[in-house]
Amino acid sequence: MTLLQVDGLTVRIGGAEVVGDVSFALERGERLGLIGESGSGKSMTALALIGLLPEEASVEGRVVLDGDDLVAMSEGRRCDLRGDRIGMIFQEPMTALNPVMRVGNQVAEVVRRHRGGSRRSTRERALELLRRVEFADPERIARAYPHELSGGQRQRVMVAMAIACSPALVLADEPTTALDVTVQAQVLELLARLVAEEDAALVLISHDLAVVSGMCDRLLVMYGGRIVESGPTDDVLERPRHPYTVGLLATSTAMAEGGRRGRTLPTIRGSVPGLGRFPEGCVFRSRCERATDRCRTMPPLEGAGHAFACWHPVERPVTVGGAT
């Protein structure tokens, strides 16, 4: 059953289109990975889903959660959904927590907002949540201020806040990017387990293929604010069709293996253009080796199950690591 249906989501900030015509569906309990370089519109997509875009942004399209359109509904109703039906985890656990408020109160706040109850009962609930994110002594953590915790601990607090009201959807925006590699795995594992326990759907945003591939059922590859390829994780990883996905995969696999072989790392030609400087037509054509005149018009995202938006898709299965 479909939990979330996104149709033609477009976000503009100051005339520049940061998210363009993004459409996808998410099943209950499904885990979706949203990947792309920084500046590809991943975070903006997530913020649009939860309705927390910067003031100056304008949104078009539909984001339907359980039959309700989040874009069209009143801000008051959106507030009721945030933290309750939708939980969100941000990238920087250092700054995302209020520095002058005790951690326990910050966790309790989300419970009190949506479930009400006495100070004491919400506090109990907060301790229980802290225990669920694997703190051995939740009482001590609850009394602590954010700066007294490590990065991983802070991010676990964020996870506790996100799942506090058993949401149907959890958005995690680069949840482990700011963390040490050793801590990353731990936090991801915790996130995966808790999302499964709550039977929540997960949208995991990352620029790191390794992070996403292990956790997600399906992948969306974004570039220039657009989805360029989407499909089941295995299909996308094994048979990427869009040249951008191919490049991304090549870079990331080579990073994992190539370093020790002393090879030159394959990279995608050029760099991500600045906001609003993507070319007309196919957004990737300024960096694409396959680009032709035909790419001056935007290719549609087509294909059942495994879809891609390219006039000249990569046909043969690419031997990963060799594609440059």
Partner 1 sequence: MTTYLARRLATLVATLVAASVAVFCLLAILPGKPAQVILGTQATPESVQQLTKQLGLDKPLSQQYLDWVHGLLTGRYGNSYISQLPIGHQIGQALAVTGPLVLFGLVVGLLVAVPLGVAAALLRRRAAGPLITAGSQIGIAVPNFIAGLLLIYVFSVKLGWLPASGFVTWSQDPWQAFKSLVLPGIALGVVEGAVLSRYVRSAVLDVLRSDYLRTARAKGLTRRQALVRHGFRNGSIPVLTVLGLELPSLIVGAVVIENVFTLPGVGTLLLQAVDNRDLIVVEDVVMLVAVTVLVVNFLVDVSYRLLDPRIGHAR
Binding site for partner 1 (CB under 8 A): 50, 52, 55-56, 75-76, 79-84, 87-88, 90, 92, 95-101, 109-110, 113-114, 145, 147-148, 158, 161
Smaller CB distance to partner 1: residue 21 or 173? 173
Smaller CB distance to partner 1: residue 112 or 218? 112
List the strands of the sheet with 2-13, edge to edge: 16-27, 2-13, 57-65, 68-69
The widest CA-to-CA distance across the chain, in whole angstroms, is 66
Q: How far is the CB of 97 from partner 1 (least distance, A)?
A: 6
Q: How far is the CB of 164 from partner 1 (least distance, A)?
A: 8
Smaller CB distance to partner 1: residue 95 or 292? 95
- Of 160, 177, 169, 59, the residue nearest 110 (C-alpha): 160
Smaller CB distance to partner 1: residue 50 or 188? 50
Check: CB of residue 218 under 8 Å from CB of residue 31: yes
Place of tokens 């996100």: 162
Q: How far is the CB of 140 from partner 1 (least distance, A)?
A: 15
Exposure on the CB side of residue 238, measured as CA atoms within 13 A: 5
Q: d(Cα 209, Cα 219) in Å, to the nearest integer? A: 10
Cα dihedral 100, 106, 112, 113 sign: positive
Q: How far is the CB of 11 from partner 1 (least distance, A)?
A: 16
Smaller CB distance to partner 1: residue 37 or 80? 80
List the strands of the sheet with 31-35, edge to edge: 86-89, 169-173, 201-206, 31-35, 218-223, 226-232, 307-308
Let me know the angle formed at the C-alpha of 64 by 164 and 233, rounded to the nearest 5 degrees: 75
Q: How far is the CB of 160 from partner 1 (least distance, A)?
A: 11
- Of 318, 314, 313, the residue nearest 294 (C-alpha): 313
Q: d(Cα 252, Cα 148) in Å, to the nearest integer? A: 35
Smaller CB distance to partner 1: residue 93 or 247? 93
- Of 303, 179, 152, the residue nearest 236 (C-alpha): 303
Q: How far is the CB of 72 from partner 1 (least distance, A)?
A: 18
Smaller CB distance to partner 1: residue 95 or 267? 95
Let me know the angle formed at the C-alpha of 177 by 42 and 159, rounded to the nearest 5 degrees: 85
Smaller CB distance to partner 1: residue 19 or 254? 19
Q: How far is the CB of 289 from partner 1 (least distance, A)?
A: 39
Q: How far is the CB of 237 from partner 1 (least distance, A)?
A: 30
